[in-house]
Chains A and B, each alone.
Chain A
Amino acid sequence: MPRLSSLAELQLLRRRIRDSVSKSKPRITVCAGTACQASGANDVQRIVKRHLLEHDLVDRIGLRITGCHGFCEMGPFVVTEPGGMFYPKIGIHDVPAIVSAALSGEPAEYLLYRDSVTGTVCKCMDEIPFFSKQQRTLLSRNQRLDPIRLFDYLADGGYEALAKVLSGFAPEAIIDEIRRSGLRGRGGAGFHTSEKWDMARRQAGDVKYVVCNADEGDPGAYMDRSILEGNPHSVIEGMIIGGIAIGATEGFVFVRHEYPLAIKHVLIALRLAREFGLLGMDILGTGIDFDISIVKSAGAFVCGEETALIRTIEGMVGEPRQRPPFPTERGVNGKPTCINNVETWANVPIVIAQGGDAYAHVGTETSKGTKVFSVVGKVKHTGLVEVPMGTTIKEIVYEIGGGPQDGGKIKAVQIGGPSGGCIPHRRFDLPIDYDSLSQAGAIMGSGGMIVMDQGTCMVDVAKYFMSFLKDESCGKCFTCRKGTQRMWELLDDITEGKGTLAHLDLLETLGKTVAETSMCGLGQSAANPVLSTLRYFRAEYERHIIDLRCDAFVCENLTGAPCQAACPVGTEAWRYAALIARGEYDAAYRVIREANTFPSVCARVCDHRCEQHCRLLTTGHDPLALRALKRFVTDRSDPAAYKPERRDDPVAASMRVAVVGSGPAGLTAAHNLSLRGYKTTVFEADDQPGGLLTSGIPTFRLPREVVQKEIDALIDENITLLCSITLGSDFTVDDLFRDGFDAVFLAVGAHESWRMDIPGEDMAGVYPSMEFLKAWNLRGESLAVGNVGVIGGGNSALDAARVALRQKDVTGVTIFYRRTRQEMPAFEEEIQGALEEGIKLETLATPIELHGENGHITAGEFVVNELGDVDGSGRRRPVKKLGSEYKVPLDTLIVAISEAASEIGAAHSTGLEMRDGTITVDKRTLSTGRPGVFAGGDVVTGPNTVIDAIAAGKRAAQVIDLYLRERDVAVPAEPILPRVYVEPAVSEPAHDVPATRASMPTLPTEQRHKSFIEIEGTFSEEAATREASRCLRCDLEFTRPPQARPSLARSRGGDA
Chain B
Amino acid sequence: MKTRINPEDVLRIVDKHNDSQGAVISILEDVQAMYNYLPEAALKIISHRTGRSLVDLFGVATFYSSFSLEPRGRHIASVCMGTACHVRGSPKILANFERDLRVKAGQTSDDGEFSLSTVNCLGACALGPVAVIDGDYYRNVKDSDVSGILDRASRINGALRIPDDERVFAVNVSCPNCNRSLMNDEYLLDGYPMVRVTASFGRKHGWMRLSSLYGDYRIRSEYQIPKGVIVHFFCPRCHAELRSGRLCPDCDAPTILLLVRGGGTIQLCSRRGCKQHLLDLGA
Contacts and interface: CB of A to CB of B under 8 A. Distances in A.
Interface string B58-82: 0110011111000000000000011
B130 interface: yes
Interface residues of A, number: 94
Interface stretch (A370-378, A483-491, A903-911): A370-378
A382 B125 contact: yes
- Main secondary structure, interface of A, reads mixed
B121 A314 contact: no
B171 interface: yes
Given A39-B127, A52-B281, A414-B83, A1049 B166 contact: no
Interface string B129-155: 010000101110011100100110011
Interface in A478-527: none
B102 interface: yes
A987 interface: no
A299 B65 contact: yes
Contact of B214 (A46, A151, A1049): A46
A257 B139 contact: no
Interface of B: 20-26, 28-29, 59-60, 63-67, 81-84, 86-89, 92, 99-102, 111, 113, 119-128, 130, 135, 137-139, 142-144, 147, 150-151, 154-155, 157, 166-167, 169, 171, 214-215, 246-247, 249-250, 260, 262-264, 279, 281-283
Interface in A629-665: none
A704 interface: no
Contacts, number: 231
Contact of A374 (B20, B126, B135, B144): B126
A38 B171 contact: no
A965 B81 CA distance: 51
Interface string A382-418: 1110000000000000000000000000000010010
Contact of A314 (B22, B215, B246): B22
A49 B280 CA distance: 9
Given A146-B283, A618-B143, A1052-B150, A313 B125 contact: no
A845 B260 CA distance: 62
25 contacts: A21-B283, A38-B124, A38-B130, A50-B169, A53-B264, A54-B262, A56-B262, A73-B127, A92-B166, A220-B83, A293-B20, A300-B63, A313-B21, A374-B125, A384-B126, A448-B125, A450-B125, A451-B87, A452-B87, A464-B86, A468-B81, A618-B143, A1049-B99, A1053-B151, A1056-B157
A450 B169 CA distance: 42
Given A252-B21, A313-B22, A620 B142 contact: yes
A62 B283 contact: yes
A385 to B, nearest CB: 10
Interface string A252-293: 100011111000100110010000000000000000000001
Contacts of A56: 262
Contact of A38 (B60, B119, B137, B157): B137
A316 interface: yes
B127 A382 contact: yes
Interface stretch (A211-219, A725-733, A775-783): A211-219
Nearest to A151: B283
A17 to B, nearest CB: 9
Contact of B81 (A219, A260, A384): A219
B100 to A, nearest CB: 6
A149 B283 contact: yes
A619 B143 contact: yes
A257 B279 CA distance: 26
Given A58-B263, A456-B87, A315 B123 contact: no
A301 B65 CA distance: 10
A50 B89 CA distance: 38
Contacts of A417: 83
A1054 B154 contact: yes
Given A92-B166, A317-B59, A72 B113 contact: no
B64 to A, nearest CB: 3
Interface string A286-322: 0000000101111111000000000011111110000
B215 A1056 contact: no
Contact of A221 (B21, B24, B125, B214): B125
Contacts of A464: 83, 86
Contacts of A1053: 151
B127 to A, nearest CB: 6
A143 B36 CA distance: 37
Contact of B83 (A297, A377, A384): A377
Interface in A907-941: none
B62 to A, nearest CB: 9
A298 B61 CA distance: 9
A1026 interface: no
Given A39-B127, A58-B262, A619-B144, A296 B64 contact: no
Nearest to A405: B88
Contacts of A72: 124, 126-127
B138 A38 contact: yes
B126 A383 contact: yes
Contacts of B282: 58, 62-63
A295 B22 contact: yes
B152 to A, nearest CB: 9
B87 A219 contact: no
Contacts of B22: 295-296, 312-315
5 closest A-B pairs by CB: A58-B263, A38-B137, A72-B126, A298-B64, A219-B82
A34 B102 CA distance: 30
A619 B142 contact: yes
Contact of A47 (B86, B151, B167, B262): B167
A267 B249 contact: yes
Q: Which of B25, B67, B99 has the most CB of A within 10 A?
A: B25
B123 A298 contact: no
B120 A217 contact: yes
Given A53-B260, A63-B281, A376-B125, A618 B83 contact: no
Contacts of B20: 293
A58 B29 contact: no
Contacts of B99: 1049
B279 A49 contact: yes
Contacts of B88: 377-378
Given A258-B123, A374-B126, A619-B144, A298 B169 contact: no
Nearest to A452: B87
B125 A468 contact: no
Given A53-B260, A314-B21, A620-B142, A34 B169 contact: no
A1055 interface: yes
Contact of B29 (A62, A92, A257, A382): A257
A59 interface: yes
Contacts of B124: 34-35, 38, 72, 222
A59 B157 CA distance: 35
A38 B139 contact: yes
Interface in A430-463: 448, 450-452, 456, 461
A376 B125 CA distance: 6
A885 interface: no
B66 A299 contact: yes
Nearest to B82: A219
A298 B29 contact: yes
A225 interface: yes
Nearest to A145: B283
A991 interface: yes
Given A620-B142, A991-B147, 15 more contacts: A21-B283, A34-B123, A35-B126, A38-B127, A58-B264, A63-B281, A219-B81, A295-B26, A297-B25, A299-B66, A376-B125, A465-B83, A618-B142, A1049-B99, A1052-B113
Given A58-B282, A259-B123, A448-B83, A315 B23 contact: yes
A152 interface: yes
B130 A300 contact: no
Nearest to B65: A299
A612 interface: no
B263 A53 contact: yes
Interface string A103-126: 000000000000000000000000
